[in-house]
Structure 1
């Protein structure tokens, strides 16, 4: 079984890289502002018209970059959380991390950041601070004195926190002006509002740091799937490693949702798909998870833009339509 997954890993890596590339091509060539497939490469090489260059370089590429980065980060965050909690239902959206980031971003946007010139660069930091506070509180409440972390309790408390914080954001909407209300509503629905180059540069440093460290910790994550006693016997300091990995997972999720809004289920679906293809060794399924997550979010955004000609359906809603039934299926298995 181990050799089977090891041999197939390069094939799955190539396949999902190809899938992501094809979805990106479709995203550029479909929709109201689009460039035909035959004109994409000439335009990228500098041989396009003004309109083609504007559509690709100013409209489509920054949006695709944000979506691909956020999708891969959310998938990696979900994979880390599932291992840390030993719970296949863990996801940054489901257990309240996204909502934790969202409440911080919302408060900052309403009371401080609406008109700041450096707003794109402040949002990931604000989202991270509020998300790490929420994650720490959820983690603390899910701990049991003698048994340690209760995975099912973590999910249930996280769901409760997510609903409570979403309700708080709704209350904030009642006292905000019309522009701020539109922002909060767009964020809650998972509408990709940060689709310009400044937002790409704002979240890129977080990903450049968090992703390599997470992949470097892959062997530690393999051990952390085991019981604490086994890990301690192998020389793993569980509390320290859990703290580091939790911070990484929160940083990946918070920086992403601060730009693309409240997108759930990417971190739930992508790791499960990757494990079916590449096995449970983190060295193999983490890279596949990232490609699957990027493909899902870019694909969901593309579907949302073209499925209804008169309006754009937020990517978060499209992902939820796919992810919610899968979550129910996993919940039934867990119970």
Structure 2
């Protein structure tokens, strides 16, 4: 007789007292996404004003027998840019999946609750007030700004679930965006140029100093979200059911908000505002992989990384020698999807 879990597509792997339940389809598709990400990364490393072959790129990565110019371009310019795109995209994809699960709203993403604008305002204030400060300071300052806005939105909404939280976040984000526009229209032209380039979500200034901190916060947030994935699955059935199953709802909601807020603020602090990644990646993950929250989180991270890396590579290559910021490319691709999602949910909004 077929068990319920097997009929639902799950398999059970037991090693002694330990057992793991998984869906082979989700595992295969996640591995395919990982290979696609690796291929996209190698293509990005090989492409540009100095074209390289795959063996030359691999030699530069291995620091073995590569030409001096190839080793310099790969090691000092392209590799940090690729890694930063992957980390930022994964963080935003994870954050979007977590926010949509927390609010039970498929249109939610950290950018819609003001986190991106809060981090942007804080980082721009740092850049313009202290232009000589090291770039490593952007991350803690931006995280503080994003966290402050998230706390204000939470206090005003008084509830992390439902439409109210998203609507309050949209209102606060619009207020902060208006403040940024006032600055852009009144500030010195040199400061405005700096602000616009950064706000567009560009990775052209990628630096090795930003990668360890972003990797730490992204990894920490991913661990927290994976650890609370079962609670999120239970919470999707309703708070009453989740509480009856032993889920600590208050703790799960606090962690479910803190992790995506800090990851989003960290990503925005490093690469600027990249819109629609947190909105698009989770929906693509549910369409391709499906399953529980753990599978959606994994696929969202991989898809977010692929999307940002592809957007940055396209913006860098399609109009060379001009470089279109990755945020602009993502917006061009994301707006039609956002409108489609609104249309699909027109009777529920």
Q: Find the residue that maps to 1:93 and give its secondary structure.
A: helix
Note if contact 1:231-1:238 (Cα within 8 Å) is conserved in structure 2. yes
Q: Find the residue that maps to 1:94 and give its secondary structure.
A: helix
Q: Return the TM-score normalized by structure 1.
A: 0.92
Q: Find the residue that maps to 2:110 and give its secondary structure.
A: coil
Matched with 1:312 is 323
Matched with 1:31 is 48
- List runs of 5+ in structure 2 lacking aligned partners: 1-6, 11-21
Moved more, 285-294 or 175-184: 175-184
Distance 1:237 1:10 in 2: 29
Q: Find the residue that maps to 2:253 and give its secondary structure.
A: helix
- List runs of 5+ in structure 1 lacking aligned partners: none
Q: Find the residue that maps to 1:157 and give its secondary structure.
A: helix
Distance 1:61 1:47, change over 3 A: same
Give how far 1:193 is off: 4.5
CA displacement 1:90-126 (0-9 Å, x = unmatched):
11123321111111111122223x2123x31x21211
Distance 1:157 1:194, change over 3 A: farther
Q: Does 1:40 align with 2:57?
A: yes
CA RMSD in angstroms, aligned pairs only: 1.9
Moved more, 288-297 or 154-163: 154-163
Matched with 1:128 is 143
Q: Return the TM-score normalized by structure 2.
A: 0.88
Moved more, 162-171 or 264-273: 162-171
Distance 1:109 1:211 in 2: 29
Aligned with residue 203 of structure 2, among 192, 200, 205: 192
Aligned with residue 248 of structure 1, among 241, 259, 267: 259
Give how far 1:56 is off: 0.6
Q: Find the residue that maps to 1:31 and give its secondary structure.
A: coil
Note if contact 1:305-1:312 (Cα within 8 Å) is conserved in structure 2. yes
Q: Find the residue that maps to 1:35 and give its secondary structure.
A: coil
CA displacement 1:64-105 (0-9 Å, x = unmatched):
110000000000000100000000001112332111111111
CA displacement 1:260-286 (0-9 Å, x = unmatched):
111011111111111122224012121
Q: Does 1:72 align with 2:90?
A: yes
Alignment coverage as a number of residue pairs: 328
Distance 1:97 1:276 in 2: 26
Give how far 1:250 is off: 0.5
Matched with 1:60 is 78
Distance 1:150 1:71 in 2: 25
Distance 1:179 1:35 in 2: 36
CA displacement 1:227-254 (0-9 Å, x = unmatched):
1111121222322321122111101100
Aligned with residue 164 of structure 1, among 158, 175, 178: 175
Note if contact 2:80-2:206 (Cα within 8 Å) is conserved in structure 1. yes
Moved more, 288-297 or 124-133: 124-133
